Amino acid sequence: MFKWYRRAERCYAYLYDVLPRGDLPFSDWMQSFRCSEWFERGWTLQELLAPRELIFVCRSWEEEIGTRTSLSEEVKEATGIPKQALVQSWSLKDDLGSPKYSIAQVMSWASGRHTTRTEDTAYSLMGLFHISMPLL
């Protein structure tokens, strides 16, 4: 899935538990964004990092909340992922092949997330580490 997100022109993240901005005072709305369950799910880590552009939409689908870049400070607060990883194209290594982020650091971003099936935790991380497993 990582490659699909990476190749997409843009991706949309549906936050079913976030109301439109006008429905709450701004500080309450921002808190609801940061506490969205979307940031706790295992598969959404690659959805967050892989696409060139990620647009968050609220419960009603009527409002684009913002992008990964425009909301990078709030996303950083919700996930612990550094802003640099959110505003630049995701890669585990820089242009010279040196690691940008340690394996431990990337694993820490996944540590508070949950998946329905235990094995999905591993599968959801494979693309971030450039690991592919061919189907037999």
Q: Which residues pair with 11 in a beta bridge?
A: 54
DSSP annotation of 88 reads: S
pLDDT of residue 92: 65
Residues 86-123: tens digit of each pLDDT = 988 777 667 766 778 888 988 889 888 988 998 888 88
The continuous run of DSSP H or E covering 45 comes out as helix 44-49
Q: What distance lies between CA 25 and its chain's CA centroid?
A: 25
pLDDT of residue 36: 95
pTM over 0.75: yes
What residues in the chain have per-residue pLDDT under 50?
none
Give Cα separations from 61 to 16, 25, 26, 55, 118 (angstroms). Answer: 9, 19, 19, 11, 31
Measured CA to CA, the distance from residue 20 to residue 82 in angstroms comes to: 26
